[in-house]
Chains A and B, each alone.
Chain A
Amino acid sequence: MKILTTVKKVVDVELNIHVENGAIVEKGLQYVINAWDENAVEAAVQINESHKAETTLVTLGSGDHTDIIRKCYAMGIDNGIHIDDPALEKADSATFAKVIQKIYEAGDYSLVITGKQAQDTDAGQAGIMLGEFLEIPCVSNVIEIKVIDDTHIQVSRLGDAGTEIVDVTLPAVVTVSDSINEPRLPAMRGIMMAKKKKITVMDLAGLGTSFEEVGGTALKSEVTAFMAQEKRKGGQKFEGDPAEVTAKVVQLLVNEAKVL
């Protein structure tokens, strides 16, 4: 079985994000592997360990991506493809999905595992759209993948009414939730081996396409400005005798906040 996982390099959400004049301030930002894509990588590596699969990751974006690719190698991914093209700075989920479609069509993959969303866009679209473009089944928000045989998997997804158990015929796309696994910390040996592995880098032309062909020049929507979120302020914090403090806070909730 050949598995394709998609990995995006995104802004670290643990750090402060500042907005000035409608734009995000670049200074001080750091870029990391999208959290949900780490879950996707872990899921692919686990399938390889239990069922022998060849795992390939693809990451799309301009600039250096070797750090995140090496991290995925160290976790156990076999091959890495980086589509490095300045045009991709302007891409949206649908455009990225079209590029991933090209990669998929050039390989012989039976399963694509994506994160449920990218932590910079919080869009949650690329994986599901990829399934639509390829006209293959897609199950989103998955928390378990069981391989049945070369052409069937069974997945669990979190839905509105509970956990749905879905029998899927491959090829298929699965988008994973962070509840699916705990991504491993790469071992030293893996990190050393990862340094020697080859990374395939090409631009859109090298992939046999163009930004126009993947819809990049006719985006269906565009971000015109960023705005800071209204920040909540910490209010009154009480320390001391638990009985006194608790009684005081309940009085405030009743009389001041009027929510009890």
Chain B
Amino acid sequence: MTNILVVADIKQGVLKGSTAELLSKARALGASTATVAVGSNIAGLASQLAAAGSDTQYIVDDPSLEIFSAKPFAEAVVKAAREFNADMVWFGFSESGKAAAPRVAVQLEAACANEITDAAIDGDTVHIVRPAIANKVLQKVKINAPKLVAVVRAGAFEADPEIAGKENVVTLDPPEKDMKAVVRELISDASGEIDLADADIVVSVGRGAKDKAGVDLVKGLAEDLAAGFGSSRAMVDAGFMAHNKQVGQTGKIVAPSLYIAVGISGAIQHLAGMNGSKVILAVNKDPEAPIFNVADFGIVGDLFDVIPLLKEEIKKIRA
């Protein structure tokens, strides 16, 4: 029997959907499952973690864990992995997961894989699939080590609503603080906005919007659709959009049912973050823009004409 430990993805005290997705996949593989939740004031999440599909919940709850710090976070996960005798440790797609996974892998002497999109157990051997080379190819990887630590790519697995685990809470001692890399401050992202990773529709703005007025115009469309509002790197570099709004290889990976790219050329690093979307609509004045090669629907035109019209049409159908 394979033991899979899923690291709970918690953001601002809220359990993200990816945790249930990973647990559903683990159960579908026939594994026994546990979760580890690391943070401050999170003990209350245990029943949600059980409902999400775990049969044991390791809780590492301490005020010192309020702000993310990679070393103690990884140590807490290692502790839970040892307690559970985990064969695999899975992180949801997150910066904390990407920072912790290689540390956990070294400590457990495990193989390490980033952005896996599939996992299969074949007798004693685990095989995974993951993208590489800027998401241009997929790799099939055979795991030789007895253990695997992996970060699962956003949107790779689906949650099965039928699945539920049972509550069995194990409290673990908090790890020590990292005195050599002390997080002195967290400059929080604006709260209250729709998380790109959760949004069913994402509207993203690119350099074509030019300036603040253009960004506000596109943001208006996102608001009308109750969509997440994302960005290409160009608009982040220009200071119009926050870092956490960047979609792409160095930003968020999104797979909404509808992705609307406005004034975005479609560089490979941008495509790597959104080409898993179900339907893509692109608005661009250049008929040759590479974004049209991946868009299901394309409007060739000036966004300053098209976006107001799009807003009007949407108002009509929503009325």
List chain A positions with a Cβ less than 8 A from chain B: 11, 13-14, 17, 19, 22, 24, 93-94, 116-117, 119-125, 128-129, 131-133, 136-141, 143, 154, 158-169, 172, 177-179, 218-229, 232-239, 242-243, 245-247, 249-250, 252-254, 257, 259-260
Contacts and interface: CB of A to CB of B under 8 A. Distances in A.
The 9 closest A-B pairs by CB, nearest first: A220-B111, A237-B298, A235-B296, A220-B145, A128-B102, A137-B181, A13-B134, A132-B106, A250-B313
A237 B300 contact: yes
A119 B133 contact: yes
Contacts of B187: 162-165
Given A128-B70, A235-B297, 14 more contacts: A14-B268, A24-B133, A119-B134, A141-B99, A161-B11, A163-B187, A164-B67, A165-B184, A221-B148, A224-B140, A235-B296, A237-B287, A237-B300, A243-B309
B112 interface: yes
B41 interface: no
Contact of B243 (A13, A163, A243): A163
Contacts of A226: 132, 137-140
Contacts of A259: 201, 257-258, 278-279
B137 A227 contact: yes
B306 interface: yes
B301 to A, nearest CB: 5
Report the contact-size class of chain B (Cβ under 8 Å from the partner): 35 or more
B142 A121 contact: no
Given A93-B112, A169-B180, A229-B131, A250 B250 contact: no
Given A235-B296, A237-B300, A158 B180 contact: no
Nearest to A236: B297
A221 to B, nearest CB: 4
Contacts of B189: 161-162
A137 B68 contact: no
Interface stretch (B52-60, B90-98, B167-175, B207-215): B90-98
A132 B102 CA distance: 9
Interface of B: 11-12, 67-68, 70-71, 94-96, 98-99, 101-103, 105-107, 109-115, 127, 129-145, 148, 178-189, 201, 225, 233, 236-237, 243-244, 249-250, 257-258, 268, 275, 278-281, 287, 292-302, 305-306, 309-310, 313-314, 317
Given A165-B185, A249-B299, A253-B297, A120 B244 contact: no
B112 A158 contact: no
Contacts of A221: 111-113, 141-145, 148
Given A169-B180, A236-B297, A223 B144 contact: no
24 contacts: A17-B137, A19-B137, A119-B134, A122-B114, A125-B112, A136-B180, A163-B186, A179-B237, A220-B143, A221-B148, A226-B137, A227-B140, A232-B280, A236-B297, A242-B309, A243-B309, A245-B299, A246-B306, A246-B313, A247-B309, A250-B310, A250-B313, A257-B296, A259-B278
Contacts of B102: 93, 124-125, 128-129, 132
